[in-house]
Amino acid sequence: QVQLVQSGSELKKPGASVKVSCKSSGYSFTSYTLNWVRQAPGQGLEWMGWINTNTGNPTYAQGFTGRFVFSLDTSVSTAYLQISSLKADDTAVYYCARGGPFDYWGQGTLVTVSS
């Protein structure tokens, strides 16, 4: 069965970096784009962008350029989200989701940024 399994919660200090992983199984990894979605505490869903799993080419939504990097390791069917220079308002649950529409989602990774 299709599964997207994300890495565990992270607690980081302001200015640090974090790398979240999303491991896919149960389907051909390169057949679907992989999206990243942010959900701040008590807030709605915000699409961050996607990565083309065939070419590795990322597309970033407005507001998610510069400090945010999407990458892949196709050998292990895993996508990564790296956020640098973390700020308190990066505190959120980050989801990966397959395709468009998003038919399968990871369980979410809570990133907490606090001194």
Partner 1 sequence: DIVMTQSPDSLAVSLGERATINCKSSQSVLYSSDNNNYLAWYQQKPGQPPKLLIYWASTRESGVPDRFSGSGSGTDFTLTISSLQAEDVAVYYCQQYYSTRTFGQGTKVEIK
For partner 1, which stretch binds (CB under 8 A), given 8-16, 19-27, 71-79, 98-106?
98-106
The binder of partner 1 chosen from 11, 25, 87, 103 (CB under 8 A): 103
Binding letters toward partner 1, positions 23-52, x by CB under 8 A: ------------x--------xxxx-xx--
Cβ partners under 8 Å of residue 80, min gap 6: 19, 20, 21, 22, 69, 70, 71, 72, 73
> Rounded CA gap, 9 and 90, in Å?
13
Cβ partners under 8 Å of residue 37, min gap 6: 45, 46, 47, 48, 94, 95, 96, 97, 102
109 binds partner 1 (CB under 8 A): no
The residue count for binding partner 1 (CB under 8 A) is 20
| Smallest gap from residue 24 Cβ to partner 1 (A) | 14
Contacts with partner 1, residue ranges (CB under 8 A):
35, 44-47, 49-50, 59, 61-62, 95, 97, 100-103, 105-108
